[in-house]
């Protein structure tokens, strides 16, 4: 029997613990088929990540591997099956998230002693619940719930913007705030939007498309359009935030690494009564002119330790897009490290 090192694709390693076998049976064939994935893709992901071998027959699956790995695979499958029974959809990212969750919890013995969190945080929305899929996302959601101002930084694909929008929508649906304000620096247009055709929303739409995607994914499309027309959801370029004080609002600044120091200070001081502010960005993808310091990096440094302000730094382990994205991020990080090492 071969075993595989978790997290690596098909890398044989020597057996380090006795092998065991576990058989699981699920009472609904249709849900079991969804659980295993098309052509067994979900089972293949679990095999690759946990170093086990899974063989499905109808509504049964046989798991072979080390005791701890089989236990983790069982908990992944049972947790995902429970979600399917409750009416939730299970996609590839959910499988990845469930695997990361049980790996963070450790073995069954550790979980029973209470040394691990029983479940990641979630955001309850009318359309569907949004659950953290990684330890970083779990910390991010907890920070969003506890702080009035939260910085979320890290590479692409970690869910910084998506979870920020989900949290803002949850506050809006519970009537804790009156409106959602979405902003982003239009660096590519040099913050000069006048030459672009259309009204203000049409001018900035290309720069806020990721936020729109999150809105339509997490809310009913008709509700989003009605809220946009009524001003309950507002799209505003960063340059147009000057002079405003934002009360009873959830304010999101996306791509904040492309703000200058003065722009960031201006934006942060817009925070009004009963408002929440979320600032997201990737410090490694700054598009500002050479020599100009990112306002995001400066703000995180200056405001470190200030009460009421949270900061969650995501890593490549939190990337939840296609698994190649994590490898791409890792390759670029490795190249950056080598460049820094060569500098005198």
Per-residue pLDDT of the chain (344 residues; tens, 9 = 90+): 333 344 444 444 444 557 888 899 999 889 999 999 888 888 988 998 888 999 988 889 999 988 888 998 999 999 899 888 888 788 887 888 788 778 776 644 444 434 444 567 889 898 888 888 888 898 999 999 999 999 999 988 888 999 999 999 999 999 999 999 998 886 544 444 455 555 655 666 666 777 888 888 899 989 999 998 999 998 887 877 888 888 999 999 998 999 999 999 999 999 999 999 999 999 888 888 888 889 999 999 999 889 999 999 998 778 776 667 667 877 887 887 888 777 76
What domain range includes position 232?
148-342
User: What is the pLDDT, as a whole number, of residue 198?
Assistant: 59
User: Is residue 68 domain-shared with residue 159, that is, in the same domain?
Assistant: no
Residue 334 lies in a domain: yes
Residue 219 lies in a domain: yes
Considering only the C-alpha atoms of the chain, give the largest distance between any 2 of them, rounded to a whole number of Å.
69
Residue 140 lies in a domain: no
Measured CA to CA, the distance from residue 160 to residue 157 in angstroms comes to 8
User: Is residue 97 domain-shared with residue 196, that is, in the same domain?
Assistant: no
Q: Look up the pTM and report it.
A: 0.71
User: Is residue 64 domain-shared with residue 195, that is, in the same domain?
Assistant: no
**Burial degree of 230 (CB within 10 A; 0-12, 13-18, 19+):** exposed
N-term to C-term CA, the chain: 50
- Please report the sign of the dihedral spanned by the C-alpha atoms of residue 238, residue 240, residue 241, residue 242: positive
Task: Report the CATH number that the domain containing residue 233 is assigned in CATH.
Answer: 3.40.50.300
User: What is the pLDDT, as a whole number, of residue 177?
Assistant: 94
8-24 in b/e form (b: 16+ CB < 10 A) is: eeeeeeeeeeebeebeb
CA distance to 59, 288, 337, per residue, from 332 (Å): 42, 19, 9
Over its C-alpha atoms, the chain yields an Rg (Å, rounded) of 23
Backbone angles phi, psi at 49, to 5 degrees: -80, -35
User: Is residue 84 domain-shared with residue 197, that is, in the same domain?
Assistant: no
Question: CA torsion, points 20, 21, 26, 30, in degrees to nearest 10?
Answer: 120
Pairing of strands 12-13, 3-4: antiparallel
* 3-state DSSP assignment of residue 209: helix
User: What is the pLDDT, as a whole number, of residue 207?
Assistant: 67
User: Is residue 89 domain-shared with residue 155, that is, in the same domain?
Assistant: no
Which residues, including other chains, have CB under 8 Å from residue 234's CB and lie 6 or more apart? Answer: 179, 180, 181, 182
Residue 71 lies in a domain: yes
User: What is the pLDDT, as a whole number, of residue 265?
Assistant: 93
Asked whether the beta carbons of 26 and 59 are under 8 A apart, the reply is: yes
User: What is the pLDDT, as a whole number, of residue 288?
Assistant: 84
Task: Report the CATH number that the domain containing residue 72 is assigned in CATH.
Answer: 3.30.1370.10
User: Is residue 159 domain-shared with residue 83, that is, in the same domain?
Assistant: no
User: Is residue 302 domain-shared with residue 190, that is, in the same domain?
Assistant: yes
User: Is residue 107 domain-shared with residue 154, that is, in the same domain?
Assistant: no
User: Is residue 244 domain-shared with residue 184, that is, in the same domain?
Assistant: yes
Count of structural domains within the chain: 2
Residue 130 lies in a domain: no
3-state secondary structure 67-117: HHHHHHHHHHHHHHHHHHHCCCCCCHHHHHHHHHHHHHHCCHHHHHCCCCC
Which of 258, 256, 236, 257 lies closest to 246 in space, CA to CA? 236
User: Is residue 46 domain-shared with residue 156, that is, in the same domain?
Assistant: no
């Amino acid at each position: 029997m071969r075993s595989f090192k978790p997290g690596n694709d098909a890398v044989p390693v020597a057996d380090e613990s006795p092998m065991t076998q576990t058989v699981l049976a699920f009472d609904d064939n249709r849900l079991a088929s969804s659980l295993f994935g098309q052509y067994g893709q979900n089972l293949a992901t679990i095999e690759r990540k946990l170093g086990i071998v899974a063989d499905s027959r109808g509504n049964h699956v046989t798991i072979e591997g080390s005791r701890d790995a089989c236990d983790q695979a069982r908990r992944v499958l049972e947790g995902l099956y429970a979600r399917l029974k409750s009416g939730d959809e299970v996609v590839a990212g959910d499988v990845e998230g469930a695997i990361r969750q049980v790996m963070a919890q450790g073995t069954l013995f550790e979980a029973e002693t209470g040394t691990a969190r029983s479940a990641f945080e979630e955001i309850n929305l009318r359309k569907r619940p949004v659950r953290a899929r990684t330890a970083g996302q779990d910390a991010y959601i907890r920070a969003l719930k506890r702080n009035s101002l939260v910085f979320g930084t890290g590479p692409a694909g970690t869910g910084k913007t998506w979870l920020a929008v989900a949290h803002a929508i949850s506050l809006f649906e519970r009537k804790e705030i009156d409106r959602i304000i979405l902003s982003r620096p239009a660096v590519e247009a040099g913050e000069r939007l006048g030459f672009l055709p259309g009204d203000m929303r049409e001018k900035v739409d290309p720069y806020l498309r990721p936020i729109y995607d999150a809105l339509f994914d997490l809310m009913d499309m008709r509700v989003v359009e009605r809220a946009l027309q009524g001003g309950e959801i507002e799209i505003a370029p960063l340059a147009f935030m000057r002079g405003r004080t934002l009360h009873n609002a959830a304010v999101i600044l996306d791509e904040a690494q492309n703000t200058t120091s003065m722009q960031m200070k201006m934006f942060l001081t817009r925070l009004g009564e009963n408002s929440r502010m979320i600032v997201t960005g990737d410090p490694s993808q700054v598009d500002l002119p050479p020599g100009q310091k990112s306002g995001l990096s400066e703000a995180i440094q200056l405001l470190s330790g200030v009460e009421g302000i949270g900061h969650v730094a995501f890593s490549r382990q939190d990337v939840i897009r296609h698994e190649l994205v994590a490898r791409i991020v890792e390759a670029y990080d490795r190249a950056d490290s080598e460049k820094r090492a060569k500098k005198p």
